[in-house]
Amino acid sequence: MKFYSISNKKIIVSFKQAVLQGLAQDGGLFMPLTIPQLPLDFFKRINLLSFQDIAYEVSQLFVSDDIPEKVLQDIITKAFNFDLPLINLEKQIYGLELFHGPTLSFKDLAARFMARSMSYFIRNQKKELTILVATSGDTGSAVAHGFFGLEGIKVIILYPSQKVSMIQEKQLTTMGGNITALEVKGTFDDCQKLVKQAFVDQELNKYLSLTSANSINIARLIPQSFYYFFAYGQLKNKEKSVIFSVPSGNFGNLTAGLLAKKMGLPVGKFLAATNINDSVPQYLKTGYFKPRPSKKTISNAMDVGNPSNFARILELYGHQVQKIRKDINGISFTDQQTKSAIIEVYQKYDYILDPHSAVGYLGLKKYLRQNPNETRPGIFLQTAHPAKFLDLVQPLINKKVEIPQRLQKYLTKSKESIVLPNKFADFKAFLLS
């Protein structure tokens, strides 16, 4: 499988090149040259397949030219060694728990796959690989944990100062080793802009071997498609298509679902559920995309005003908004609505949601209310464990949330970060130093 830059279709590279470059030289995102179709037999036996089975069958269609079969199987076995339960709250409403990895975030899945893929690719490389990561919350900790201690790889995480939760910040800033945390005086969009500028800076690329671990990297996007197939396979009724409600910030998660649909997964509708940072829902309403500065919310990992992966969505649909609208509904919610949803779900189902998953739940509930004749099952993606947002969740439900042991260990460690302005000159000077 080859991959091309969506900014210049003449730039065509291998999976290995796409992963190690992160972005094309022209700053474009990579996309597969063709989207493979899964055979009908795959869907007939999907309920018998483990998550690891699905991950192998899907990924080998994209990476088999660059990763041998046995190596790929080993990557998948080590990366995906935790459960992804599908929880049935009521007749049509399911939640897919994606937060059982080491950092209690759905981003563990893609980060662990990408880390092991990169480690394989640079096994004989003498020059150190520097990974730049902009995070609005969970990406940084997932990447830090996935790459921690890997030889020949240095990770630099940029996060917006005072705009992540206390536990998220602890996870970002207490790893040490080959992980460095930069506390940027600005927003997530500022962090993301700095990373993108670094990739196209000729002087930096002369001295450093740079790549990204954000969802702009194709090695993040492909593994995120796996759990859409797995969720569908766990449903009892396979005759109908399914509705997915996806908490959306940088839109990598939703883009991966669209990729799964293009590969043959029977999805009837995607719901792009956002907080008040709703540039994509507004585009779906008006037909015009207007990026704007992000606003701080309680679902902070979704505080993105100019989502990178929106460019991939446009590419998938030939920049035709009418085609996009057929597959995606955009829905946005306020912090107060999010808080009310957390309370509602706890009181109604004795079940606890984090604020991001609550936005996904709200999206599905609103769609079902607006479409009372809808009979298809709906699945909302649960992207983080509620324990990562104790200060918010516990007062709402008036109950102590149990903190998993793997999260507790971060609370006793001291924060170590380097504070930087949101100016590229300062970031560049730091990298060159």
Helix intervals (H) in 45-137: 51-63, 69-79, 107-121
Question: Which residues, at least 6 apart from 39, have a Cβ–Cβ distance to it below 8 Å?
Answer: none
Question: Which residues, at least 6 apart from 61, have a Cβ–Cβ distance to it below 8 Å?
Answer: 1, 36, 38, 263
Say if residue 232 is exposed, middle or buried (CB neighbours under 10 Å; 0-12, 13-18, 19+). Answer: buried
Hey, which residues are catalytic here? 107
**Residue 86, H or E segment:** strand 86-90
Rounded to whole angstroms, the Cα distance separating 178 from 191 reads 20
Classify residue 384 by its DSSP letter: B
The residues that bridge with 129 in the sheet, in sequence order, are 153, 209
The residues that bridge with 332 in the sheet, in sequence order, are 274
Question: Which residues, at least 6 apart from 13, have a Cβ–Cβ distance to it below 8 Å?
Answer: 2, 3, 4, 21, 24, 30
Say if residue 227 is exposed, middle or buried (CB neighbours under 10 Å; 0-12, 13-18, 19+). Answer: buried
Closest CA to 355 of 324, 376, 333, 330: 333
Rounded to whole angstroms, the Cα distance separating 430 from 433 reads 5
Helix (H, G, I), strand (E, B) or coil at 132: strand
Rounded to whole angstroms, the Cα distance separating 215 from 220 reads 5
